[in-house]
Chains A and B, each alone.
Chain A
Amino acid sequence: MKIFNQLKGLVVPLDRANIDTDAIIPKQFLKSIKRTGFGSNLFDEWRYLDHGEPGMDCTHRPLNPNFSLNQPRYQGASILLAQENFGCGSSREHAVWALDEYGIRCVIAPGFADIFFTNSFKSGLLPVVLDVHTVNRLFREIEATTGYRLVVDLPAQTVTTPDGIVFHFEIDEFRKQCLINGWDDIGLTLRHADEIRAYEIRRREETPWLFA
């Protein structure tokens, strides 16, 4: 698993609630059998003015100039700021892979959909929950300041603005340690292989129909 520790990054705003994973990576790109190649199709239908299909060379496609990710002041952003219920809808982890490959390492929002939230950690993408007032304040500050950067400190669980204002965020301790240490989930679980086998032996006795 990819490590996340501290990040100082340019922030790109996407001031919408309920940004779903269909919008983050449209379905036609889910036909790939690989984990890579999704970055240039991140937000494809919002980002480009034409219709995207897998295998297209995106460097020559017409860009939507009104979409924040396309604006010169946000080029190179590694933090995305959005509104409530980010990542709702489909379970597609391709949404996380697309954000990661584009260069987004952290998404800040007042709330995330559960499946997206879980998926993010698998690629070292940090989802940070801040209350809606703080998020709205950050939207205003970004709008007002070109080159607006935030410092996200996972061990300290803080987000720091350019003016030095510090916001604390909550995160599950286990998930935090996984990200800081880059632990492999499957490896961790397999340390409990004996317990899994013991559970199965007991359950086969109690509920044999579950093992048919």
Chain B
Amino acid sequence: MAGKTLYDKLWDAHVVHTDANGTVLLYIDRHLVHEVTSPQAFGGLQLAGRQPWRRDSMVAMPDHNTPTTPGFTTIDDPVSRLQVETLDDNARRYDLRYFPIGDMRRGIVHVAGPEQGATLPGMTVVCGDSHTSTHGAFAALAFGIGTSEVEHVMATQCLIQKKSKALQVRVEGEIGAGVTAKDIVLAIIGQIGAAGGTGYAIEFAGKAIQMLSMEGRMTVCNMAIEAGARSGMIAVDETTIEYLRNRAFAPMGDLWPRAVAAWRELHSDPDAVFDRVVVLDAAAIKPQVTWGTSPEMVVAVDACIPDPACEPDPVKRSGMERALQYMGLQPSMPITDIQLDRVFIGSCTNGRIEDLRTAAAVIQGRTVAPSIKQALVVPGSGLVKRQAETEGLDRLFKQAGFEWREPGCSMCLAMNADRLLPGEHCAATSNRNFEGRQGQGGRTHLVSPAMAAAAAIAGHFVDVRTF
């Protein structure tokens, strides 16, 4: 019998019940909660007169609607304010572990959770948020769910699931200088497509993945969903274990060695069989830039925008034509000719300390180009912000002309006041370049933090490897 994949091991350990047709009740260890997708679930729970099954599995914080203006005291938008206050009320009513506005530990749920050690290897982790795949970096089975499923987990600690197929994405060799985890995952999406991972759980493997820090691994798993996979995951190794040591929610004392011994089993067996394997050569990956309105519309920074006329598939061709029209770009135009209006460094993809360090390292005494209307740096959590300030990164950014903000989702999805105006081009370290994602009519180009910082200084895209 073939060995087990990491996904098999995580799945098998959480099966509570299996129906005749293979439908499974899957136990959920960690439930992260934010203000946007939870109010209706709490409402449903209350309406049915139910209590949370296991409130200690839940960790809650507001992130999507929160202002990022330094020293803000209130949320001006009354609709946003009510949504955050509703989470405040629900956290109080059900006595949840809660990081409210003003708590240093608060941040984007996918940054602040792992930072606290709330995500541990071997867990099932869910949240009413598609970027929950982030937590798979810890060899956890982590996936986003809708509000009905949020209520389901609250009420039963389980989800009704069918097992996905297993896809291994192996990135062999080493990435070059100036190439980051973001470029790896954008290159993967470019290769397999935005629906390439639909129906699969992805395990990222290979030397280039193993060499990434936990921050980099979270960046890669974060964007598994942009390749269509609900979950992405990476095996446990020393990097994982060292990251977790002494985190607030991590096991302590006698439990630590016991946990570590169990975690070391969390890798695919050498003879495990995947339903599909995709291999990339890390050395061939260059800094990536998206040019269209789907993350799969991506090329290397030294390339030109593809010509739809060369695309044989009619559905893809019309998608490319529509994207170019929306983006206000021409086929065959060099990526480095794209002029930018705004720059956004942050989000659950790239709002961690390592991201801010690599962006700051690019600046080197230079300043933001006068043609850039705004360059925002939004740390992923209060603790990331504090750490960056301790290292003096905030001063480097501010001296260069960047704005230094309070933590939150911010301009990644523009639910708060941070947004693009129609027609504006933005170099963004976030995860989605959909039409209107960063503001109606806004034009998003997804890049790494280093590429975003370099673009802010040049006013257009430049190859950070030679910048």
Interface residues of A (CB under 8 A from B): 15-18, 20, 22-23, 26-28, 30-35, 45, 51, 54-55, 83-85, 88-94, 96, 111-115, 118-119, 122-123, 132, 172-174, 185-186, 188-190, 192-193, 195-196, 199-200, 203, 207-212
- Chain B proximity of A107: nearest CB distance (Å): 15
Task: From the candidates B162, B230, B294, name the one contacting A115 in the complex (CB within 8 A).
Answer: B230
Nearest-CB residue, chain A, relative to B126: A91
Distance in angstroms between the alpha carbons of A55 and B77 in the assembled complex? 13
Chain B contacts for A55, CB-based, 8 A: 79
Q: Which A residues touch B395, using CB under 8 A?
A: none
Q: Are B319 and A88 within 8 A (Cβ)?
A: no
Contact (Cβ within 8 A) B319 A16 = yes
A212 touches B149 (CB 8 A): no
Determine the residue in chain A with the shortest Cβ distance to B414.
Answer: A27
Show 26 residue pairs from A and B whose CB-CB distance is below 8 angstroms, ordered by the A residue.
A18-B319, A20-B432, A22-B436, A22-B437, A45-B440, A84-B195, A85-B195, A90-B432, A91-B128, A91-B145, A91-B146, A92-B146, A114-B198, A115-B143, A118-B146, A174-B19, A185-B152, A186-B48, A186-B151, A189-B152, A189-B156, A192-B16, A196-B25, A209-B259, A210-B120, A212-B56
0/1 per residue, B399-442, Cβ < 8 Å to A? 00000000000000111000000000000000010111100100
Instruction: Given A17-B319, A22-B437, A207-B122, decide whether A185 and B160 contact each other with a Cβ distance below 8 A.
Output: yes
Choose among B21, B86, B194, B250 the residue with the greatest number of A CB atoms under 10 Å from its CB.
Answer: B194
CB proximity of B318 to chain A, nearest CB, Å: 8
Q: Which residues of A contact B23 (CB under 8 A)?
A: 172, 174
Within 8 Å of chain A (Cβ to Cβ): is B36?
Answer: yes
For the complex, give the distance between the alpha carbons of A48 and B436 in Å. 13
Is B262 engaged at the interface, CB distance under 8 Å to the other chain? yes
User: Chain B interface mostly helix, strand, loop or mixed?
Assistant: loop
Closest B residue, CB atoms, query A55: B79
| Given contacts A17-B315, A186-B151, A190-B156, A88 and B21 within 8 Å (CB-CB) | no
User: Are B155 and A190 in touch, CB under 8 angstroms?
Assistant: yes
Residue from B120, B250, B440 whose CB has the most chain A CB atoms within 10 Å: B440
A91 touches B436 (CB 8 A): no
Nearest chain B CB to A80 CB, angstrom units = 16
Instruction: In the A-B complex, list the 7 residue pairs whose CB atoms are closest, starting with the nearest.
Output: A93-B146, A209-B251, A122-B148, A119-B146, A33-B39, A85-B195, A91-B144
Select one of A34, A89, A122 contacting B146, CB under 8 A. A122
Inter-chain contact B146/A113, CB cutoff 8 Å: no
Please state if A89 and B432 are interface contacts (CB–CB under 8 Å).
Answer: yes
Are A84 and B230 within 8 A (Cβ)? no
Instruction: Assess the A111–B198 pair: CB atoms within 8 A.
Output: yes
Instruction: Tell me if A51 and B122 are in contact (CB < 8 A).
Output: no
- Is B129 in the interface zone, CB < 8 Å from A? yes
Within 8 A of A (CB), among B207-250: 225, 228-230, 249-250
User: Pick the contact of A20 from B53, B146, B434 — CB < 8 Å?
Assistant: B434
User: How far apart sit A79 and B65, CA to CA, in the bound complex (Å)?
Assistant: 33
- A18 neighbours in B (Cβ, 8 Å): 194-195, 294, 319
Cross-interface CB contact of A186 among B82, B155, B316, B413, cutoff 8 Å: B155
Whole-angstrom distance between the alpha carbons of A198 and B156 in the complex?
Answer: 13
Interface bits B302-323 vs A (CB < 8 Å: 1, else 0): 0000000000000110110010
Is A33's CB under 8 angstroms from B19's CB? Answer: no
> What residues on B are CB-neighbors of A113 within 8 Å?
195, 198, 228
Are A207 and B262 CB-contacts (below 8 A) given A32-B79, A33-B43, A83-B315? Answer: yes
For A193, list chain B residues within 8 Å (CB): 156
Contacts of B25 in A (CB 8 A): 189, 192, 195-196
A118 B149 Cβ-Cβ under 8 A = yes
Smallest Cβ distance from B83 to chain A, in angstroms? 5
Residues of B within 8 A of A23 (CB): 434-436
Say how far A27's CB is from chain B's closest CB, in angstroms.
5
A35 to B38 CA separation, bound complex (whole angstroms)? 11
B199 is an interface residue with CB less than 8 A from chain A? yes
Q: Which residues of B contact A114 (CB under 8 A)?
A: 164, 198-199, 228-230
Q: Are A89 and B434 neighbours in the complex by a CB distance under 8 Å? A: yes
Q: Which of these, B157, B195, B255, B440, contacts A208 with CB under 8 Å?
A: B255
Q: Taking CB as reference atom, which chain A residue is nearest B159? A: A189
Q: How far is the CA of A185 from the CA of B19 in the complex (A)?
A: 14
